[in-house]
Structure 1
Amino acid sequence: MDVAGIGALNMDKIYRVPRIAREGEELPVIEVYEASGGSAANTIVALSRMGISTGFIGVVGKDSEGRKILRDMVKEGVNTECMEKFGGHTGVIIVLVDNNGERTMYAYPGVNNLFEIKDSMLRCAENAKYLHVSSFVGEKSFLSQLDLIQNLKNKISFAPGMLYTKYKNLSELRDFISKSKVIFLNREEASYLTGKQYENGARDLIMMGAEIVAVTLGRDGCYIRTGDKEIRVEAENVRVVDTTGAGDAFAAGFLYGLVRGYEPETCARLGNFTAARCTEHLGARDGLPFKEAVEEFITRL
């Protein structure tokens, strides 16, 4: 297996609105959209579409949302042998998307809070070239994830997201960082995690053991830091409909490049390409490119 993912699995309930309402204000909803989600899961689905061998480690509820998430994973060609079902409600993310494509999110963890590492999950993680790690809401799930990382011999890719960068500190995430082939952050997450602007924060993460730090900058593209290089890559020029899942898509494009043996700058261009395609559609997955589109893009690099 090329890449296994681990993180919360959620049903995304997306509401497109003219703008985010002020307290006590009532506004119309323009469009309602529902889809399977979860940060690492979105990245794994994107990689599978690109022709990368993938699997996922996580939990869903024994409800209609959980069944749909599992069906969608299987349909996308993701190995689901290490996904478990628990009695209870599958996690839900409520997403409000305004006319500029910017979003506000509310997370209900549901059975994600029951996540525990099993021996089969450790074997799945060890059999992958890379383990792509994203966040859980609950402390028990975080500690189970940490236990897996501490017992893992291979490198990880780490997308801590706002939940870990804002509500965990560097010492709690030290084992994740030191084992990271690549860490994915946006500008705000880099600042929350390190207390510094993203360039200096990325340098600190490299000093803690990460090999590559990739910071997405929205319309300004991305910034890549390695042990000896700083790289900036401009964003693709597209009409943004929804930024939901853009960071997950960027991670997929970048990881595709790593699996295929490309240098960090090419990986970054692949990340920008995949993220741009994602933002042209509502939701995290509808715009994700397939293998043929990615291969055609590579011929233009």
Structure 2
Amino acid sequence: MRKEVIGLGALNYDVLYVVERIAKGGEEVGIIDVKKAPGGSAANTIVALARLGVDTGFVGTVGNDEEGKWILEDLMEEGVETRIKKREGYTGAAVAFVDARGERALYILPGVNDRLCIEDVDREFVNHTKILHTSSFVNREQLEMQRELAKRIHNKTKLSFSPGMLCFKYELDDLTELIERSEVVFISADELKSLVKKEDYERGTELLLDAGARIVCVTLGGKGCYVADSSTGESHLIDAYPTDVVDTTGAGDAFAAGFLFALLRDKSLYESGKTGNLVASFCIREYGGRKGLPYKKFIPATLQKGARKQKINYRHRLTQINTDDKNQHDKTKINLRKSV
């Protein structure tokens, strides 16, 4: 049976230290609490989708240790079908420090994640899904594996790409093969700025659309999200849902889940972005990337309130907006591919 979404990414054992504040160089800061949970960006998104009732699967690798066993058991308990390679070595780990404002510092130990290769990927499994969602690994070998897989998967399988930390390590040209194959690219404003070297997220979004992505979703933290679709010329800036922020870990992963959930249900670009914001708002109410993730029963009622639509224009780099035309500022759909 064909899956709706299969994830491919690092599987990590997360250790979260709740601290008074993020320490500066040479400073000693107290630890308030310690929390442990399974993690990994793509895996967080897949677990969130599974809780929303989406038929999911996951491809990855863990070590032959207790942490790897725990991660596998957790995925199965969430209803995720797995194709996980167990190998000698230690499971990947992520150590995070989170302060009272919900801000964090993150350190990654890849473990056996840096040994995942194309031969570990069940081609029949990933070819029988509507969407393959993949996120960043630490080492370049896995980026090359992702590029190769993008070439090999069936053209009916749509790619969803969340580059994450890759944006701080590589140039846009290094990721173009994955971006141009992607139905959706999920990226934070900071990641986008680092990748395209542009301060303006609208301009940065345009560059990713020009690179071949059909849809680009930029998460803006407390400001919500900006979403744009090159096939329709549509773009929206959508407010975040007001909530008490405890920890921002996994917020982008949760947003991706909400957006894909709505997209699979043939919702509009705006409604998909709104749903992404909603799922992310649940995530950040709790420590860790999964504890706060909502189940489907919470989605319909809360979708009716919280976010507010802002009508904006997509600014093409060679198109001057006529500021004298007041009607221009009321459009939410314009042509992204204007001739020049």
TM-score higher than 0.5 here? yes
Q: TM (normalized to structure 1)?
A: 0.97
Give the match's secondary structure for 1:83: strand
| Counterpart residue number, 2:320 | none
**RMSD of aligned Cα (Å):** 1.2
- Correspondent of 2:167 among 165, 168, 177: 165
Q: How many residues align?
A: 299
Give deviations 1:45-64, integer Å, cap 9, x for gaps.
00000000000010000001
1:175 matched to 2:177: yes
| Counterpart residue number, 2:266 | 261
Q: Compare CA radii of gyration and give the structure with the larger one.
A: 2
Q: 1:207 and 1:79 mapped to 2: Cα distance?
A: 35
| Counterpart residue number, 2:13 | 11
Give the match's secondary structure for 1:156: strand
Identity of aligned residues (%): 43
Residue 223 of structure 1 and its aligned partner are, at CA, apart by: 0.5
Residue 181 of structure 1 and its aligned partner are, at CA, apart by: 0.9
Residue 83 of structure 1 and its aligned partner are, at CA, apart by: 1.0
Q: How does 1:35-114 map to 2 (within 5 A)?
A: 35-80=37-82, 82-114=83-115
Give deviations 1:19-61, integer Å, cap 9, x for gaps.
1112222111011000000000000000000000000010000
Give deviations 1:246-300, integer Å, cap 9, x for gaps.
0000000000011111011000110000000000001100100001111333455
Unaligned runs of 5+ in 2: 308-340
Contact 2:278 2:303 in 1 (8 A): no
| Counterpart residue number, 1:279 | 284
Unaligned runs of 5+ in 1: none
Q: 2:223 and 2:176 mapped to 1: Cα distance?
A: 29
1:199 matched to 2:205: no
Q: TM (normalized to structure 2)?
A: 0.86
| Counterpart residue number, 1:296 | 301
Residue 172 of structure 1 and its aligned partner are, at CA, apart by: 1.6
Give deviations 1:76-128, integer Å, cap 9, x for gaps.
00001x11111000000000001100110000000001101237522222111
State the one-letter code of the partner of 1:223: Y
Residue 199 of structure 1 and its aligned partner are, at CA, apart by: 0.6
Q: Which runs of 4+ in 1 moved over 6 A?
A: none
| Counterpart residue number, 1:210 | 213
Give the match's secondary structure for 2:244: coil
State the one-letter code of the partner of 2:259: F
Name whichever of 191-200 and 265-274 sits farther off.
Answer: 191-200
State the one-letter code of the partner of 2:94: I
